[in-house]
Amino acid sequence: MRMRRVDDMQRAATYARELESEDPEEVTVRLDAGDVYAMSGEARYHQDAIEWIFLVDALNFSFWSDQPRQYSVTLDGKTYHGYWTLCAAVNRALAAGIPITDAAYYAKASDEELADVFRGDSVESIPLLGERIGVLREVGRVLVDKYQGRFSNLLACCEGSAQRLVNLVVTEFMCFRDEHQFHGRPVAMYKRAQILVADIWACFEGKGLGRFVDIDSITMFADYRVPQALCHFGALEYSPRLLEFLRESEKVVRQVGELNAHQCPPTPGLLPSGHPWEIEIRGNSIWAVECIKRCIEESGTPVNAILLDFYLWDYSKEYAKEMQEIPIHLTRSINY
């Protein structure tokens, strides 16, 4: 995998400026809550928003489908797919009086109760349902046992430091430890822990509960969509062997599901979590965004990796058809 400089940064720079200038009373924030969970006025500074963001980011992983009929959730007449199904399912439960953002509830709720919260519009279930239930039990127990059942109490321990929050989250919750070995060297990506910090920062516009003095130390969130956008823009270039593997893997997984989950490359199929190729894709994506960030800053526009990630993720969803020739790497994991 090779990386080369992206010359045209104008679009990303414009996006960053737009985020800085939007009316705080109108914006629903381009964080992962999106238009499913819009906060404004005093509600934006309510601690319940923190619990909502934590719950969603604890479950923010593996939304791609290997089935002909994609998992979907309909809320208020609108049908959601992918990541947005999670937001819609949580809000549907809250509207029905189910305290799904309460750690005391989801720490002890039955498998059946939690499965019903995330039920889809058809027989297709949300990917990795069992793993998601396990995550809820783990984080719920920790919050109840050590933080009076509220993530906002853990947040307060970090005293406005993004890095302290990331470190405390991965220390307290094993399911957030996005850690691997790459040719004998330890590598930590911490996608979900970092996007948790970013979502709180974006939701509160860097103020109050969302003020972090070191927010620019957060990297992009290494998943499977942003690398696709980076390849589209020329910031990443896959080797012919890797590109062929990814293209063949998309065909295999779509045809036979996850039967190849335990086979390693070069046999096409799922790319195992922690495989060197997966680590290279994610690691190079982090570095590519850092290089883009530096280029934009040289033009006089302040920006951080969070805003660039938001832009790239939004772009990858809006222009999915234009980028369909660029394959995503298919990895089933609770890390992303």
Residue numbers annotated as active site: 223
Q: How far apart are CA 313 and CA 300, in angstroms?
A: 23
* Torsion angle of the four alpha carbons 272, 88, 318, 309, in this order, in degrees rounded to the nearest 10: -60
Q: How far apart are CA 336 and CA 333, in angstroms?
A: 6
Cβ neighbours, 10 Å, residue 128: 17
Using DSSP's 3-state secondary structure scheme, residue 148 falls into: coil
Q: How far apart are CA 222 and CA 286, in angstroms?
A: 7
Q: How far apart are CA 5 and CA 295, in angstroms?
A: 9
Report DSSP letters for 101-119, one per residue: T-HHHHTT--HHHHHHHT-
Place of tokens 């516009």: 205
Please list the alpha-helical segments (H only) found in the chain: 10-21, 47-58, 83-95, 103-106, 111-117, 129-146, 151-156, 162-172, 191-203, 226-233, 240-256, 276-298, 305-318
